[in-house]
Structure 1
Amino acid sequence: MKLTKKIKNITLAVLLLLAAVGCSDKLDEPQLNNNFAGGTDFTNTDDMILSIIGVYEAFQSRGWEQPLLIAVRGDDVNAGGLGDQQDFAETDLFNYNKDYWMYNSLWENIYVDVITAHTGMEQIARYQEVADAAGQALGDQYIAEAKVLRAIMLFHISQVWGDVFIPTSSETSELFDVETVPTQAEVMQHISDQMDEALPFLPNMRPNERQDLPGGVTEYTALAIKALANQELGNYQVVADACSEIISSNKFSLFPDFYELFKTPGKLSDESILDMQYSDFGQGEGDRESHLYAPYGPQGWTPAVDGASSGWGFFEPSMKFIKFMLDRGETVRLETSVLFTDRGITELQTDPNYATLPAFVSNTTRDGDVIEDYARALFASGKHYLPSNQLISGRTAYGSNKNFNIIRYAEILLMYAEALAQGATASGMSADQAVNLVRTRANMPAISGATLDQVLDEKFAELGMEWGKRYYDMVRLNRTSELSYDGRTFSADKAFLPYPQAQVDQFPILGN
């Protein structure tokens, strides 16, 4: 049974109490945060799985604004204009409004979900008090899984704000006693340490090999997050070692079709290390687990399947990214990453260097969806696009049934290659071999003697539009001149968003 199906079948009482946590406006309501299992009978250890399912449910319940805000500031993507979210567009231009609702929503809701992870761990520990040896071991695994989900949420929020809180329990009142907000370096070290704690208890398999919770986190998810945290810290030997463990396991491989990787055929592939999973459960109506993908979609299209809904046009691949890809001779990665409008193609061709374009640069996708001109943007994100002919009959919402990739094996290969280019050593494959695996899938020629610049270019091409990875790479490596493009001016003081004013009002330490 898929994890999404298990979440769907979770008991009504747990769902209702989780909803109370998820809808909480404040972090200072421990009575909501501490008891989503309600009057649970902790002697019934068969129900222990419900606590970890509750943590997964919280983790996957991303508001549409959360990944959008995390990702918008890189030179790979622009905010769509002419909408009712002007402060979102201003954020893309590095003009920040601490009162903007998106900032507070991202901060508050991620912390609510982090607290939910702590609640789940505490509930599991209560089951373990009366469980037999097998139940205690299973509880250790579930707690380790919750630590991993908590870690990636803390990772994202620290990338956005730098210095952030590190909750240590479900008692949110402890945050009011914090005397010093942990630095970004301390948060990343904490994440790395947490992954070391979790690793011994996690399944040694790919996420898609799990039978109990298919797609759930495993040992390799923890290693990937450890590598990400140490990459932020500049601990490149640790990065190389963690990535090397994933690579040498021989459990992962690149999905052969880059275009379909981000669509239904690529769901829970052997490339997947961490996804948020969504499903229509194979039915055209009724229950569904979903993410709102409309913000990424074109405002106007003529879908191959009549009735399929369009999007909002809030997220636009940049002209800089498109020209970068064309200059490299990219084919399938560019076709996959960008949905073109005729207006966008015309604008691109005003540059004489791009007057003649490859045939795949078209406003009609290979699946027959026609991307019409619309006011907010020239292009839309192809990585957040599900062809209308892959929608389950009866479903019309943009991207319905699509998973949301967070960490892919391709990123592990490129992190590994970067770590070696930064001076780390490893006994496994070379940096060239790692980069060339990614390039071969993209129908790009092999390179030799991969430099740091070449690896970073490969990351730009491979990971564009994904979770702001390009932006955070440029900030991390102090290559921020790349972020000053198309009228934008980046300065070091713009690396992090300002704390939301609503949070400063609750936690004055944030304003110190």
Structure 2
Amino acid sequence: MKNVKLLFQPLVLLLASSMLLVTCSDKLEENDGQLAADDLDYTNMNDMVLPLYGAYSATYTRGWEDPLLLGVRGDDVNAGGLDDQPLFAETDLYNYDKTFWMFNQVWNNFYSDLAVIINTAEIVERYKEFATGNNIARADQYIAETKVLSAYQHLNMARLWGNIFIIESTRFDEEVSNGVDTKEEVMQYVSDLMDEAIPFLPDVRPNERTDIPGGVTKYTALALKAMANQELENYQEVANATGQIINSSKFMLFNDFYELFKKPGKLSNESLFELQFSDFNQASGATENHLYAPFGPSNWTPVVEGASNGWGFYEPSLKYIKFMLDRGETVRLETSVLFTPDGIAEIQSDPAYTNLPNLVSNTTPDGDVINNYVRANFASGKHYLPSNQLTEGRNAYGSGKNFLVIRYSEILLMYAEARTRGASGTGMSADEAVNMVRSRANMPALSGVTTAQVLNEKFAELAMEWGIRYFDMIRVNDYSELSYEGRTFSADKELLPYPQAQLDLLPLGSNN
């Protein structure tokens, strides 16, 4: 069990929750998924929160491969690391090998998390049987939180593989025997699950929670509901859900786009959901970090001597960079891309881009110098933490950096797209929503925005983030955008094949 609970409570609760979850896991294995009544003291309401910490820990401690696999097929991202992970590079080229270890690992990551999350809900249900007064409402809230965390896992899996198993209980054999549900059924399940959860969730921003700072709230659930309905192309429901978030007046864009993705942007008023990490501002001892090295340049000269480099596995595409230059983007381009000298030369090899703005530099605004390296010509600035923001003594790439998952800018742009597709809305027009996002980026206002313009705005604003661009393009069947830099995309490439290891174990069939 990781130390993520230190973000919420003293170490004693960390240790207690760790012991609890290990015990629960062992007992579940012994009892075919059923936890015996005498394993825990369900009358001790002080302990009811402990399994919930475990559910958050499972969600936060994502494998490094998860965001890479979700995002690499978009035209905003290219795979680096050709020498180390050739099948990852092939995935970026839409050549899928179902024996690739990463497919199976990500599948296992999500379903392992679901096992912890669903187990948490069942444990809290047992506490609820003995609860009285305010503890009944607290149990209902905790169960609702597990539903949000479960929805997040199901949504991502269905985006990758389409037809998957919906898991609602720890009777896993029974759940699997029911067979897979279609992608559409999974998305409707996510939407309905959020309807169940919303009445019991805190009506606050995540950063306003004092019991579990940064924990999910009503608005996280509304965001996931909107995402699921966007996949279903039910744009009125998208407008309804995002409209509630907007009309709450609780969220606002962080004023500095560059710092949003760094330590100053942690748990900002823009965040509806983020994975939380910390080194607790100490040079040694407990730490809770995501492994950001795959995103980073494998050769740099940091301002802080000894700061570790990355692996070079996640490269902003040249197409994206030229798209941003053509738009006159400054703030978002400088934030999103780290340039090497070779990368700058590659851009300038096109006569249309000989004269580049000063922001196209291999020295970041914080003074870190990005050197040439074999695996890529560019690196993701959104996953970069300046070396001068590292805690003294902590040299791992990105140490202590949070991982943003759902931002208010995405909510505004989902709302705007839904409005351009004919959905009704209250309190804001599509133009107003788009222009709020553009204003922060120092981009001029638009009027009469079209669906195409909103999708372009999402490309500029949300590139390199969780595959948003890729899933947008396959949703609107714009295969021409994904056929770039020598790639050819077709409908049969939308979903990853099931991992061979899972085909050997489970009644999956084909998802294509």
Deviations 1:149-169 (A, max 9, x none): 110111001000011100120
TM-superposed deviation, 1:37: 11
Once the two structures are superposed, the pairs formed by residues 129-144 of structure 1 within 5 Å of their partners are 129-144=129-144
What is aligned with 1:105?
Answer: 105
Q: CA RMSD in A?
A: 2.0
What is aligned with 1:75?
Answer: 75
Matched, 1:61 2:64: no
Once the two structures are superposed, the pairs formed by residues 372-383 of structure 1 within 5 Å of their partners are 372-383=371-382
Counterpart selection for 1:4 from 4, 7, 13: 7
Matched, 1:115 2:115: yes
TM-superposed deviation, 1:31: 5.2
- Give the 3 Å change call, closer, same or farther, for CA 82–21 of structure 1 in structure 2: farther
Q: TM-score scaled to structure 1, two decimals? A: 0.96
TM-superposed deviation, 1:509: 3.2
Q: Is the 8 A contact 1:339 1:381 kept in 2?
A: yes
Structure 2 counterpart of 1:47, one-letter code: D
What is aligned with 1:89?
Answer: 89
Q: Distance in 1 between matches of 2:498 and 2:175?
A: 15
Q: Is the 8 A contact 2:253 2:270 kept in 1?
A: yes
TM-superposed deviation, 1:128: 0.8
What is aligned with 1:127?
Answer: 127
Matched, 1:49 2:52: no
Q: Secondary structure at the match of 1:274?
A: strand
- Give the 3 Å change call, closer, same or farther, for CA 211–488 of structure 1 in structure 2: same
Q: Is the 8 A contact 2:205 2:217 kept in 1?
A: yes
TM-superposed deviation, 1:353: 0.6
Once the two structures are superposed, the pairs formed by residues 29-48 of structure 1 within 5 Å of their partners are 39-48=39-48
TM-superposed deviation, 1:39: 3.2
Deviations 1:40-82 (A, max 9, x none): 2111111101011110011111011111111110000000043
Long gaps (5+) in structure 1:
none
Once the two structures are superposed, the pairs formed by residues 113-512 of structure 1 within 5 Å of their partners are 113-178=113-178, 180-511=179-510
Q: Distance in 2 between matches of 1:37 and 1:227?
A: 38
Q: Is the 8 A contact 1:5 1:281 kept in 2?
A: no
- Give the 3 Å change call, closer, same or farther, for CA 266–377 of structure 1 in structure 2: same
Q: Distance in 1 between matches of 2:223 and 2:34?
A: 30
TM-superposed deviation, 1:29: 5.3
Q: Distance in 2 between matches of 1:503 and 1:305?
A: 45
Long gaps (5+) in structure 2:
none
TM-superposed deviation, 1:481: 1.2
Q: Is the 8 A contact 2:177 2:507 kept in 1?
A: no
Q: Distance in 1 between matches of 2:435 and 2:190?
A: 30
- Give the 3 Å change call, closer, same or farther, for CA 493–444 of structure 1 in structure 2: same
Q: Distance in 2 between matches of 1:262 and 1:36?
A: 44
Q: Distance in 2 between matches of 1:77 and 1:484?
A: 13
- Give the 3 Å change call, closer, same or farther, for CA 34–467 of structure 1 in structure 2: farther
Q: Is the 8 A contact 2:42 2:126 kept in 1?
A: yes
TM-superposed deviation, 1:21: 8.9
Q: Secondary structure at the match of 2:396?
A: coil
Q: Is the 8 A contact 1:348 1:354 kept in 2?
A: yes
Structure 2 counterpart of 1:106, one-letter code: V
TM-superposed deviation, 1:19: 6.3
Q: Secondary structure at the match of 1:6?
A: coil
Q: Is the 8 A contact 2:208 2:214 kept in 1?
A: yes
Q: Is the 8 A contact 2:20 2:51 kept in 1?
A: no
Structure 1 counterpart of 2:311, one-letter code: W
Q: Secondary structure at the match of 2:447?
A: coil
- Give the 3 Å change call, closer, same or farther, for CA 455–21 of structure 1 in structure 2: farther
Q: Secondary structure at the match of 1:509?
A: coil
Aligned pair count? 507
Deviations 1:99-129 (A, max 9, x none): 1111011111101111211100000011111
- Give the 3 Å change call, closer, same or farther, for CA 9–452 of structure 1 in structure 2: farther
TM-superposed deviation, 1:446: 0.2
Structure 1 counterpart of 2:274, one-letter code: D
Q: Distance in 1 between matches of 2:193 and 2:460?
A: 31
Q: Is the 8 A contact 1:298 1:380 kept in 2?
A: yes
TM-superposed deviation, 1:225: 0.4
Q: Distance in 1 between matches of 2:199 and 2:285?
A: 40
Deviations 1:295-327 (A, max 9, x none): 000000000001100000000000000000000
TM-superposed deviation, 1:171: 1.6
Q: Distance in 2 between matches of 1:431 and 1:206?
A: 23
Percent of aligned pairs sharing the same letter: 61
Q: Is the 8 A contact 2:21 2:51 kept in 1?
A: no
Structure 1 counterpart of 2:58, one-letter code: A
- Give the 3 Å change call, closer, same or farther, for CA 307–265 of structure 1 in structure 2: same
TM-superposed deviation, 1:341: 0.3
Q: Distance in 2 between matches of 1:56 and 1:331?
A: 36
TM-superposed deviation, 1:175: 3.2
Q: Distance in 2 between matches of 1:151 and 1:41?
A: 29
Q: Distance in 2 between matches of 1:300 and 1:457?
A: 32
Q: Is the 8 A contact 1:73 1:94 kept in 2?
A: yes
Q: Secondary structure at the match of 1:405?
A: strand
- Give the 3 Å change call, closer, same or farther, for CA 9–471 of structure 1 in structure 2: farther
TM-superposed deviation, 1:500: 0.5
TM-superposed deviation, 1:427: 2.1
Deviations 1:391-432 (A, max 9, x none): 011100000000001100000000000000111011211000
Q: Which moved more, 1:346-355 or 1:501-510?
A: 501-510
Q: Secondary structure at the match of 2:484?
A: coil
Q: Is the 8 A contact 2:169 2:175 kept in 1?
A: no
Q: Which moved more, 1:373-382 or 1:50-59?
A: 50-59
Q: Distance in 2 between matches of 1:30 and 1:469?
A: 40
- Give the 3 Å change call, closer, same or farther, for CA 214–334 of structure 1 in structure 2: same
Q: Distance in 1 between matches of 2:327 and 2:482?
A: 20
Q: Distance in 2 between matches of 1:67 and 1:161?
A: 15
TM-superposed deviation, 1:142: 0.4
- Give the 3 Å change call, closer, same or farther, for CA 416–509 of structure 1 in structure 2: same
Q: Secondary structure at the match of 2:244?
A: helix
Q: Secondary structure at the match of 1:316?
A: strand
Q: TM-score scaled to structure 2, two decimals? A: 0.96
Q: Secondary structure at the match of 2:508?
A: helix
Structure 1 counterpart of 2:279, one-letter code: D
Q: Is the 8 A contact 1:30 1:170 kept in 2?
A: no
Q: Is the 8 A contact 1:37 1:51 kept in 2?
A: no
**After TM superposition, which residue ranges in structure 1, 4 or more long, deviate above 4 angstroms?**
16-23, 28-38
Deviations 1:437-474 (A, max 9, x none): 00000000000000011000000000000000000000
Q: Is the 8 A contact 1:2 1:215 kept in 2?
A: no
Q: Is the 8 A contact 2:81 2:311 kept in 1?
A: no
